[in-house]
Structure 1
Amino acid sequence: MGIATAVWGTGNVGRAAIRSVAAHPELDLVAVIVSNPDKAGRDAGDLADAGRDLGVVATTDVEAALTGLGGAGAVVYAVNGELRPDEALVDIRRALAAGAVVVSPSVYALYDHRGTPPELRDPVEAACRAGSSALFASGIDPGWGNDLLPALVSGLGSEIEQIRCQEIFDYSTYDAEDSVRYIVGMGQPMDYDPPMIVPGVPSMVWGGQVRLIARALGVELEDVRETSTRMPLAETVTTALGEFAAGTQGALRFEVQGIVDGEPKIVIEHVTRITAAAAPDWPQPPDGGDGAHRVIVEGRPRIEINVEATDEGGNRSAGGNATAANRLVNAIPWLRAAEPGLYDGLDVPLTPSAYLRASQPARS
């Protein structure tokens, strides 16, 4: 028997997490938790686009699902935390106190737990102690692209002037319309203030990742700063999410900068559009697709790495979500063996895939 694992949430990350847990030879998918009663009773494979039934029926009964883990096991907490961060923390603490290790992209403030305000961190640590459990939080943009990958790539250079991590993303097919319109601000008037770039929010979300890179490189940050630029649509466009009118926001670009010696030396940058035609002079995916993740090390030598992942019919947003989910799911066996407490993207090693090994015939 593998580690009993529940997936909590069946959105963009939850779907990928279900597929990942079901495929992992060291994990057993035993529960899928949903809030929508219309999803309750449906097979997890149906909800996750797995192409087959998985024999696990979704439930709204959180207590029964956590009890089914037997006071141990694991929870992939994939519920969107953007609009309900306090409730997400309550859910995570509940799972930790019940004895489950938890992996999650939902609580930005815990990406760099060493920098998390004590009023948020201390109750989570108390839940870990109560349940002899552990938590690993990492982002969906994806987290590995803003901590492990830049740290690894930096080791290939000699003289480094700047490390820049980019997410370049076309939201036209993103399956979260409210987030696209009301958090990112696509299709809103240009005097609308997108919550994503309200002063302090970018640093709250991505500042932890800047600090993780600085910690990996052994440098002290003098400050964390933010910049942002918005561009209107030149003409009305219609996407899978509906109509976006000319003159409303069509593109958003922002940076979270780690300042060293008065200069932005560590930068997390997001370049987002509602259509590929918006802000054509801004960075684009190398092949003109709908998304890419890029790490650029300016220095000697100059190094640029582009990562393009696709899933769910060739969609790159789904591919990015899948890689983020897989990073979290693959960490569960390591986390289950770790001491109780909080862990981040530099604490948790990148685990080589167990899937291929599991498919090999046994040797005599």
Structure 2
Amino acid sequence: MTFRVIQWATGAMGKACLRAVLDHPEAELVGLYVYGDKAGRDAGEIARREPTGVIATRDIGEILALDADVVIHCARLAPPYGSHDAEILQLLASGKNVISINGYSRPSHWTGERREAMEAACRAGGTSLMAAGLNPGFAAEQIAVVATGVCQALDHVEVVESVDCRAVRNPDYVFRILGFGSDPADVDPNDPAWGPASSLNGMYEEVLAAMAKHLGLALERVETDHRVFAATQELGVAAGVIPEGRIGHVNWRWNGIVEGQPKLTMSIHWWMEEAHLDEPDPPLWRIRIKGHPGVRISIDLEKREGDTTATSAEQIGVAGAVLNAIPHVVAAAPGLMTRPLATPFRSRLADA
């Protein structure tokens, strides 16, 4: 079986997904939506592959008119969370399943008009919406939850992610979307109206909701405990310069409250210098489960030996997570999905 795929956006993660689709024998690229000046170019050229005959477009109408099994939605984060709902609703209603790498881990967590609109779009198109990726997608909703399978009692689960952001090149993304370079005195990171928080809070509330669903916990609410740290010196990074005293490290923290106590915690360190890290050279993820027994897991990703491309192990991992999720979202009954606990690699996607 061959899955017909539309790739939506070609930033760093989107381009990695595009290459994965082009390279996989059971995936057929049938459409490509882009931003900026990439419209009119062959998808193969954008991905540094052979010509495909699929020409990139900025016309949503052209994408909606295509016959496809799934859209891999990799639009860049933009405040507030849910800002991409309108285009996702159109895609779902047009008969295309959607996999998002930037949220939608548990869209059924929400109540009211937003959820109703998503469910209506799925009904209209006979389609499903699901998240896939690393975080959201893999570290908390799959690995951490599965690791609790040895516990007779569960007290607390914490997933800590540490990301070196120094190589991120896009200044708008680094300084506006992620909040680096801002004056800490002018920022309340726990103000839900602050741009970066407005992009991320809803996304990671869904992550905790998905974990709670898998664990059979009644999530009462999510509380934030975000922290920002000033650069100890002027930092020259790929996106520009962060002056001394401006934000050079953000620790995002979300606590899922169950029976009045923090039961689930997601902690993400985005850093431009190592001065404020909890430990030197941290792994990509550290999972800490307190219970009977407790569990500690450290996880890093690494590239295949001999791979000299500029694509990072994390980007390759996102693309792999998306590919392995495709048969699950295509086979699902129409509606809002919480990603299954296991979406492992298969030598043939159709065997998933």
When normalised by structure 2's length, the TM-score is 0.86
Say whether the 8 Å CA contact 1:142–1:320 is kept in structure 2.
no
1:294 aligns with 2:292: no
Partner AA of 2:295 in structure 1: I
Counterpart of 2:325 in structure 1 is 331
1:125 aligns with 2:123: no
- The CA distance in 2 between the partners of 1:193 and 1:166, in whole Å, is 23
- The CA distance in 2 between the partners of 1:142 and 1:204, in whole Å, is 11
2:29 partner SS: strand
Mapping 1:108-147, distance limit 5 Å: 108=103, 110-138=104-132, 141-147=135-141
Counterpart of 2:35 in structure 1 is 35
Say whether the 8 Å CA contact 1:293–1:308 is kept in structure 2.
yes
Mapping 1:336-347, distance limit 5 Å: 336-345=330-339
Say whether the 8 Å CA contact 1:182–1:194 is kept in structure 2.
no
Counterpart of 2:172 in structure 1 is 178
- Residues 32-81 of structure 1, C-alpha deviations (whole Å, 9 max, x = no match): 11122x212323233235x5444433222332233232xx4211111124
Mapping 1:97-246, distance limit 5 Å: 97-106=93-102, 108=103, 110-138=104-132, 141-193=135-187, 198=192, 201=198, 203-246=201-244
Partner AA of 2:290 in structure 1: E
Say whether the 8 Å CA contact 2:81–2:203 is kept in structure 1.
no
1:253 partner SS: strand
- The CA distance in 2 between the partners of 1:46 and 1:197, in whole Å, is 42
Q: 1:251 to 1:81 in 2, by over 3 A?
A: closer
Say whether the 8 Å CA contact 1:232–1:249 is kept in structure 2.
yes
87, 93, 117: which is aligned to 1:91?
A: 87
- The CA distance in 1 between the partners of 2:227 and 2:93, in whole Å, is 42
Say whether the 8 Å CA contact 2:89–2:118 is kept in structure 1.
yes
Q: 1:85 to 1:257 in 2, by over 3 A?
A: closer
Counterpart of 2:269 in structure 1 is 271
Shift of 1:140: 5.1
When normalised by structure 1's length, the TM-score is 0.84
1:76 aligns with 2:72: yes
Partner AA of 2:344 in structure 1: P
1:308 aligns with 2:300: yes
Q: 1:244 to 1:302 in 2, by over 3 A?
A: same
Shift of 1:205: 2.3
Say whether the 8 Å CA contact 1:97–1:130 is kept in structure 2.
yes
Mapping 1:34-73, distance limit 5 Å: 34-36=34-36, 38-49=37-48, 51-69=49-67, 72-73=68-69
- The CA distance in 1 between the partners of 2:171 and 2:191, in whole Å, is 18
What percentage of aligned pairs have identical amino acids? 28
Question: Structure 1: 5+ residue runs without aligned partners?
Answer: 359-364
- The CA distance in 2 between the partners of 1:182 and 1:259, in whole Å, is 30
- The CA distance in 2 between the partners of 1:77 and 1:133, in whole Å, is 14
- The CA distance in 2 between the partners of 1:313 and 1:195, in whole Å, is 38
Question: Structure 2: 5+ residue runs without aligned partners?
Answer: none
Say whether the 8 Å CA contact 1:142–1:321 is kept in structure 2.
no
C-alpha RMSD of matched pairs (Å): 2.7
